[in-house]
Structure 1
C-alpha cells in the first residue's frame, strides 16, 4: 500500500503518490475508464487527489467529484487550484483577485460535491493583483471552512517567502508548493526548495516522469509511439518537445540498466527518484488505464541507494535543466 507523508510542516498526512487528473478526466479518457483509474488508486491506498478548475474547463473536477461521491470524505485529501480562466473568460474570470478566488472556490466545491477542499492552491502567481488581496481572500476561504490549508504552484522562492510571511500574519497555513520536478527538470533545487524548507512548505511535484519521457518509451531516431503524449497536439505535444532531442533520449535509455538492477520499471525509478528528496511530500501520477496506477504504486516506499543515485546523475550528465530562472518563465506576465 502507498505510504503517507506529512505535507510540509503541517499535521496533514497525504499519500506520497497523489492521483492527478490534469490531462485525462473530462477530455482524453472516457468517464468509465476514469472511474476505473480512480478505483485503482483507492485500491492501492492512494487517498490524495489533485485537480484544478481549469482542467478540461471544469469537467475534470466534475468527473472526479462524481467518482468519489460514495467515498468517506474524511478519509480523502482533495486538492484543487484557482488562477486560470474558466467559462466564458470574462474580465474577472482569471487571476487571484478576491472576486475570482471567492467565486471559484464555490464552483469547485459544487463540482467536487464536497463542503471543503483540504488544500486550495494558487495555480500561478498573479502580478496584477496585490499579494495582500490574494492572501486575505485565501484567509477568508479558510475561515469560512471551505479549505483547510493553502498552497501555491510554480511560485518563485521570493514569491513563496512573501506569501508565507503574509499567511503567518493572517494566521493561516501555507503548506505546499506544486512545481514541475523530475530527473530531467531540477530547477526547484537551487532556490525554491531552500525557500520552502525555510517557510515550512512541502512539494507536491507534477510531471515526475517528464511527460512520459522517463518511461523510456521514446527512443532516439524513432517517431513517437502512436497515441502517446508527444502526438497529442492539444496539450502534451508542446510541453514534451523540450525532452525529445536525440541527446536527451539517448541519455534516458542509459537509465534502463539502473532500473533493472533495482528491480524497477523506468517509470517506478523516476517516481522513486523524486521521492528521495526530503522536501518532496508527494509525486502526482496520472493514468489512462488502471494498470498504470497499480504499476506506479510500486514506487512507494522504495529507497534508491546512494551509489545508484550517483549513477543516475552520471548517466544524465549535462542534459539536466537546473536553471532556477525557469520557474520565472512559467509565471504569466503582468497585464496592466
Structure 2
C-alpha cells in the first residue's frame, strides 16, 4: 500500500481507502461486512470512510465493531455529517451547531472511539450560516474529538470561503470528497485548481462509476446476476443512470485492451486512473466480499504512462461528463428531511 499526505497537513492516508456507503448495515450481512474490513486491513489499508447517514447510522456501528480491536493510532477514521439521521426531525439534518455536535457524539459512540481523524461536511448547507458551521467544527477540533476537517461535494467558491474561515479559526480544512472517475470529471476545471491553491486534497468516491467501469455491463444485455444493477436495496437506483446510456457502455468496452496491456483488471485500471491526479489523496473503494478488496488494492502504486492516459481519453471521447456546474447541483438549496 502506498500513502499520500492529505492536503497541506502532516497526515498520511492510504491511497486506497475503504468505504462502506452502499453495503454495510444494509445490503451486506454483518459477518460479510466485517470480513471485508479484515481483508482491507490485511491488504495494508489504514484509512476508513463512513457517514452517520449510511444505512441510517448502521454502517458506522458495523465499522466500529470491525475495528474495535485494532490499534487506534494505526488507523485513520473518517465520518461525515449533514444528511438526515434518526427519526429525521427538523434538527436531524444540516450543518447547524446543534446537529453537528449531537451527530459527532453519536458517531463516536457507534465507532467506539474517542476521536475521528477527519470529520466532513457531507454537503454544503445553504440554510445555516457558514460561520456557525465552521465555529462548531473548530470547537470539536479544539476539544480533541476531531483532528482535521473536510467537506464533500463543495464548489470552488464554497471551498474558498470555508478555507478562509477555518484559517481564521486556526483549524485545518484539508480535504474534499467528490465523485470522480474517468467518466465523471466535473471537478477538474474549477475544484481541483482551487484545492491545489488552498492545500486541499480530494478523497474521491465512485472511482469505478458505480461499477460501470468494470466492463461487466454490456450494451443491450441484461446486467449480470448478483451485480449492483440487480440489487433491490439501493444499488440498482445508484447505477441506473449510467446503464441507460448504451454509448457509454460501448465506449467502456474499448478500455479493455488498455487494461490488458497494463496487466490490470478493468476495475483496477479505473482506480489507478483517478490516482494519476496528484490532487487526489485517495480513492474510496467499497466491497461486499473480501476478494473485491484484495483485487482493488492492486491499483495502488500503479503508474499509467501518458500515452495510455491519452488512449483512455480517446476511447471515452465525448461521453465523459465535465460540466463543473454538476458540483453545485449535488447540494440541495433546502435541507433534506
TM-score tier by shorter-chain length is over 0.9
Q: Which residue of 1 aligns with 2:22?
A: 23
Helix, strand or coil: the match of 1:323? coil
Structure 2 CA distance for aligned equivalents of residues 124 and 18 of structure 1: 20
Q: Measured at CA, do residues 283 and 335 of structure 1 come closer, stay the same or move farther in structure 2, by a change above 3 Å?
A: closer
CA shift digits 1:295-327 (9 cap, x unpaired): 101000000000000000000000000000001
Structure 1 CA distance for aligned equivalents of residues 117 and 22 of structure 2: 22
Q: Which residue of 2 aligns with 1:124?
A: 123
1:176 and 2:175 aligned: yes
Q: Which residue of 1 aligns with 2:317?
A: 317
Q: Is the 8 A contact 2:27 2:233 kept in 1?
A: no
Shift of 1:272: 0.3
1:149 and 2:148 aligned: yes
Q: Which residue of 1 aligns with 2:44?
A: 45
Q: Which residue of 2 aligns with 1:279?
A: 279
Q: Which residue of 1 aligns with 2:301?
A: 301
TM-score, normalization: structure 2?
A: 0.98
Helix, strand or coil: the match of 2:240? helix
Structure 1 CA distance for aligned equivalents of residues 29 and 234 of structure 2: 17
Q: Which residue of 2 aligns with 1:7?
A: 6
Structure 2 CA distance for aligned equivalents of residues 8 and 195 of structure 1: 12
Structure 2 CA distance for aligned equivalents of residues 97 and 219 of structure 1: 45
Q: Which residue of 1 aligns with 2:331?
A: 331
Structure 2 CA distance for aligned equivalents of residues 240 and 26 of structure 1: 19
Q: Please identify runs of 4+ aligned residues in structure 1 that moved more than 2 A.
A: 231-239
Structure 2 CA distance for aligned equivalents of residues 242 and 248 of structure 1: 11
Q: Which residue of 2 aligns with 1:106?
A: 105
Structure 1 CA distance for aligned equivalents of residues 225 and 86 of structure 2: 32
Helix, strand or coil: the match of 1:298? helix
1:224 and 2:219 aligned: no
Helix, strand or coil: the match of 2:4? strand
CA shift digits 1:203-240 (9 cap, x unpaired): 00000000000000000110111222222344322322
CA shift digits 1:232-254 (9 cap, x unpaired): 34432232223211100000000
CA shift digits 1:1-20 (9 cap, x unpaired): x1100001110000000000
Structure 1 CA distance for aligned equivalents of residues 204 and 113 of structure 2: 24
1:193 and 2:195 aligned: no
1:85 and 2:84 aligned: yes
Shift of 1:332: 1.2
Q: Which residue of 2 aligns with 1:76?
A: 75
Structure 2 CA distance for aligned equivalents of residues 33 and 241 of structure 1: 25
Q: Which residue of 1 aligns with 2:165?
A: 166
Helix, strand or coil: the match of 2:24? coil
Q: Measured at CA, do residues 223 and 196 of structure 1 come closer, stay the same or move farther in structure 2, by a change above 3 Å?
A: same
Alignment length, in residue pairs?
A: 335
TM-score, normalization: structure 1?
A: 0.98
Structure 2 CA distance for aligned equivalents of residues 325 and 89 of structure 1: 29
List runs of 5+ in structure 1 lacking aligned partners.
none
Helix, strand or coil: the match of 2:299? coil
CA shift digits 1:122-152 (9 cap, x unpaired): 0000000000000000000101111000000
Shift of 1:335: 5.6
1:238 and 2:262 aligned: no
Structure 2 CA distance for aligned equivalents of residues 14 and 57 of structure 1: 26
Q: Is the 8 A contact 2:93 2:335 kept in 1?
A: no
Q: Is the 8 A contact 2:46 2:75 kept in 1?
A: yes
Q: Which residue of 1 aligns with 2:289?
A: 289
Helix, strand or coil: the match of 2:174? strand
Structure 2 CA distance for aligned equivalents of residues 34 and 227 of structure 1: 16
